[in-house]
Chain A
Amino acid sequence: MSPGSLADWVRSNRSVYIGNATTMRDFRVQLRGSRSVLLFGLYLVVLILVSFFVYGETASRSLSIVDAQMQLKEFASTVMRLLGFTVSVVAPGLTATTIVMERQRQSLDLVFSAPVSPKYYLVGKVMSSFRYTWMLLVLALPVTAASVVIGGASWQDVLVAYMLLSMQALILTAFALLMSTIAAKPVSAIVWSYAASFFYNLVAISLASVYSLGRMFGSFGRGNEAPWYVTASPFTVLETSRTVTMIGGHSIPNWICFLAVALLLCRICLLGAGALLSPPGGKEIQGLRLSALVYVFALAIGIGWALHPHGSAPMTPGLGMGTVVKAVGADDTAALEAGQVLALCSGPIIVFLPFVACFGFDRERRYWPNGLFSIPRALDGTPAGGLPFLCAFLALFAVGMDLGALGGDGALLGPPFWAFAFYTAAFWVLFFALGRFVSSFFAGLKTSRTMLFALFLFLVCLPFPFLTMVTGVNLGLESQGPWNLYVLAPLLSRDSYRATYALIFGAILLLVALVVMLISESRVSKRLAVLGRTSESTR
C-alpha cells in the first residue's frame, strides 16, 4: 500500500468512526427535549428500587459471614442480570426501525445520492444506537459500584462484566440493523429484531447452562478454564467474567475471545446490510461473500480441531471411493460423526440460500438471470455466481474440518466424512436448484425467496413430526419404513452403514437437483426468448 493510499484509507476510516454525521444527527434526536431525561430518570429509579429490594432481602436476615458473602455476590449478579435484560430489550428496540423507517420516509435516496458509502451510513447507525445503550449501562454504574463497595464483586469483575455487556449490546444492535435492512415494514423489523435477540439469548443461555452442568458434574474444565462461548450470555456476565480459554498452553481471558467474535459478527451483519443497500456487484457484497468464505474456513478448522483433540483414536486413511463401503462398515466412528456434524452445522445455510439462489425483481433492484454457473461471478452477487459460491462455501467447510482434524490428532478424516460431505453438498445444491426453479416463475424476488423457504419447511421440517406420528421415531436405515425416504435420514441415523446411505442419498439428491435445474433453465430461456434477449444480454 502506497503512503498516499494509506493516508486516504486512514482519512476515510476516520470520517466513518469519528464525527460520523449519521451518528450525530441520530444522537441529537435521541437526546432532544425532556423525553430522554425522563426515560433515563425512570430507568435509574427502577434500577435503584430493584437493587434496594434485593439488598433489603439480603440484609433483613441474620446470616453467617459465608452466607452473607454468598448473598452479596447474588446481589451483584442480580444487578448485572438486570443490566443484561436492559441490553436485550433496549438494543434491538432502539435499532430495529432505523433503516426501515428511513426507507419508508424515502430519505435513503437523499443520503445515497450524496458521496456516502453504505459502510459510513451503517456504522453511523450502529454507533448511534450502541452509544445510547452504552449510556444506559454507564448510568447504572453507581448501582453496580454499590455491589463493589459492599463486597459482592470486585472492580475487575464489574469492568469485565461491562465489557461483555457492551459486546452483547453491539451484537444485538448489529442483528437488529440487519433485520431493519431486510424488513419492508417497521413492525416486521421490530418483530424480527426481537426474535433474533431471543434466539441469541436462547443459544447463549443454553451453551452457558451446558457448561454449568458440566462443571457441576466435574466433566468440564478446571479452575477458571471454560469455553469462550460461556461469555456470550448477557445474564451470566459476572459469573463468567474471570473465565479463560487455554490456547497453546496460554490462558487467554474469555472476554478477549468474545470481543473478537462480537466484532466479527458485527462485521458480518454490517456487510450483509451493506450488500442489501448497495447495487449488485458492489464491493459490500464481495466483502460479505469473501468474509463468509474466510470465516467458514476458520470455523470449520476450529470444529475439526475440537472434535479431534490431540490423542484421540486415529482415523482410517485414504480417500478413494473403493474404500468407502469397506470403511463405513468398519468402526470409523469419528469420521462418521464428523461428517454428520458437518451436515448439521451446514443448517444455517438455509438463512442465506434464498439470497444466493433466487433471482427476480425487488422494486428497482435487479437480480436478473445471467447464467447458471460462472466462477468469475462467484462474489459479485449476481445469480450466475450463486452456485460457485455455494460450492466454494461447502468445499471450504469440509476441507477446513479435515484440516482441523489433521491439526488435532495428526490424521485426515476418512472416506465416511467425505461421503457425508458429498451428501451435504447434494442436499444444498438441490435447494439451490429449487430456488432457481421457483424464480423461473418470475413472480418477484421476495415471492421466490419465500417459496424456497416454504419448500425447505415442507420437505425438511414438516416430515419429521409427520413421520413420528405415523411410525414413531425409527431412524434405523437398516429397517424398512417411511423414514428411509426422509431427506435427512442419513444424518439422523446411527447405523454403521450410514455413510453408504449418505452416498446413495447424495447421488439421488444431486440427480434430482440436475433435473430441476434443467427444467428451470429451460423455463428461464423460454421467458427470455419471449422478452427477446439472452441471459447474457441482461447484464
Chain B
Amino acid sequence: MLEVKGLRKEYGGLTAVQGISFTLKPGDIFGFIGSNGAGKTTTIRMISTLLEPTAGTAVLNGADIRRNPMEVRRMLGYMPDFFGLYDDVKVWEYLDFFAAIYQVPPKKRPEVIDSVLELTNLTVKKQAFVQSLSRGMQQRLCLARCLVHDPALLLLDEPASGLDPRARAELKELIAELGRMGKIVIVSSHILPELADFCNTVGIIERGELLAFGPVSQIVKDIQPHRVFSIHMLDHLDSASEHAKTLPGVSDATVAGEHELRVEFVGDLDDQADLLARLIQLGYRVTSFREDSADLEDVFLKLTTGAVN
C-alpha cells in the first residue's frame, strides 16, 4: 500500500508540487499525466527518496520516506527518464551490480538475474555490452534493473519515450504483467491513449496540483456525465433537433455541423434504440449514428489549461 499524504515541494519562490495526496494498493497501475514541468518527475523523485519534500510525506507498506528512507528504497524500483547505463559493462554485470547494492545474497544473484532477463525478454543479451543494445532493449534492461530486488513499488518516469511502436507495445505488456504480479506501478507519460489501455488508475497534474485522480472510467464519467451521440443526416437538422429533444432519454440536442446533430443522452439501451428508430420513422435521412465517448485525452484537455510552473 502506498499512501501519499500532502506531498509538497518548493524551490525558493517556486512551488513545484502543491500538497498531493493519493493512495494506491497492490496491483494498481497508476498513470501520472501532466505537461512538461507539471510536477510529475518531482513527485516521483520525492517518493523515490531522492528529493526531500518541503512538506508532507509518503508511506510505503508502513515505511515513511522521510523517517525511514533506506527501508523505502529496499521496496521500490525507480526508473528515471534517462538510462544512466555504464560503459564497458555487460548486461549481467550491470544487473549483478544492482542486485549487490540491493543486498540480494550472492548465491541468489545468478538466479535472480536470469529470471529478470527472462521477464524482460533479454536472456539472449546476457553477455552483451550494455552500450551495444538498442534503445528499446536498454529501456527493458533498466526495467530489469528495477526488478532485481522484487520491489513492491515501481516508479517509471516516461518509460515509453523514444521507443518505436513495437518496443512500446512490448513495454506496455510488461508493465501490465507487473501489475498482475501484485506490484504497485506508477507510470508517468505523455502518451495518453496508451496509459488508458493498461492503467486502472490515473491522476492528472498541472502546476503541481492533482486535478483528478481515480479509475479512468470514473474520471471520464465525472467530466462527461451524459452519453453523447453524433448523428449524421442529409437535411432538416433543425427540425430533427427539435424532435429529438422530445424523445425519451434525450436531455439536449444541438446542430453541430452542416450534417451533424449532437444529442446528449441519459436514457437506457431501449431509449437509445428508440431514438434511432423514431428519427428514421419521422423521415430523417440518417447516414450514421454513433456514440462519442470521451477518452483520457479529452479529459486531460478539458481539465488542464496548458500552464506550467
A residues with CB within 8 A of B: 15, 19, 21-22, 24-25, 28-29, 32, 105-117, 120, 279, 361, 364, 366, 368, 442, 530-531, 538
Contact = CB atoms under 8 A, between A and B. Distances in A.
B12 A107 contact: no
Interface string B13-52: 1000000000000000000000000000000010011111
30 contacts: A15-B103, A19-B106, A21-B100, A21-B101, A22-B97, A29-B88, A105-B84, A105-B86, A108-B84, A109-B50, A109-B84, A110-B98, A113-B48, A113-B50, A113-B73, A113-B78, A114-B73, A114-B102, A115-B70, A115-B74, A115-B103, A116-B73, A120-B101, A279-B52, A361-B11, A361-B12, A364-B11, A364-B45, A366-B12, A531-B13
B145 interface: yes
Instruction: Tell me the dominant secondary structure on chain B's binding face.
Output: loop
Interface in B80-122: 80, 82, 84-89, 93, 97-98, 100-103, 106
B52 A115 contact: no
Given A108-B84, A116-B73, 6 more contacts: A15-B103, A106-B84, A109-B50, A112-B50, A279-B52, A364-B11
Nearest to A281: B52
B276 to A, nearest CB: 56
Contacts of B101: 21-22, 111, 114-116, 120
A537 to B, nearest CB: 9
Given A24-B97, A28-B89, A32-B88, A110 B103 contact: no
B76 interface: yes
Nearest to B13: A531
Contacts of B80: 106, 109-110
Interface residues of B, number: 33
Contact of B100 (A24, A109, A361): A24
A29 B11 CA distance: 38
| 3 shortest interchain CB distances as A-B pairs | A21-B100, A107-B84, A113-B78
Contact of A107 (B51, B71, B74, B86): B86
Contacts of B89: 25, 28-29
Nearest to A28: B93
Contacts of A368: 12
A25 B99 CA distance: 12
A536 to B, nearest CB: 13
Given A114-B101, A366-B11, A442-B12, A29 B73 contact: no
Contacts of B51: 364
A12 to B, nearest CB: 10
B70 A110 contact: no
Contacts of A22: 97, 101
Contacts of B45: 364
B26 to A, nearest CB: 20
B250 to A, nearest CB: 51
Contacts of B88: 29, 32
Contacts of B76: 113
A2 B124 CA distance: 49
A538 B14 CA distance: 12
B62 to A, nearest CB: 16
Given A24-B97, A25-B97, A110 B78 contact: yes
Contacts of A120: 101
Contacts of B93: 25, 28
Contacts of A531: 12-13
B47 to A, nearest CB: 10
Nearest to B84: A107
A107 B73 contact: no
Contacts of B48: 113
A114 B89 CA distance: 19
B82 A106 contact: yes
A28 B82 CA distance: 24
Contacts of B50: 109, 112-113
Nearest to A366: B11
Nearest to A107: B84
A115 B82 contact: no
Contacts of B52: 279, 366
A257 to B, nearest CB: 36
Question: For B50, B80, B101, B103, which residue has the most chain A Cβ atoms within 10 angstroms?
Answer: B101
A114 B71 CA distance: 10
Interface in B273-289: none
B22 to A, nearest CB: 21
A111 B145 CA distance: 11
A115 B71 CA distance: 7
A115 B13 contact: no
Contacts of B73: 113-116
Contacts of B74: 115
Contacts of B13: 530-531
Contacts of B97: 21-22, 24-25
Contacts of A15: 103
Nearest to B90: A28
B86 A25 contact: yes
B243 to A, nearest CB: 58
Nearest to A33: B88
A24 B86 CA distance: 14
A533 to B, nearest CB: 9
A538 B9 CA distance: 11
A105 B87 CA distance: 10
Contacts of A117: 70
Contacts of A29: 86-89
B145 A110 contact: yes
Nearest to A121: B101
A116 B254 CA distance: 62
A403 B88 CA distance: 55
B85 A107 contact: yes
Contacts of B12: 361, 366, 368, 442, 531
A280 B10 CA distance: 15
Interface in B260-284: none
Contacts of B11: 361, 364, 366
B60 to A, nearest CB: 13
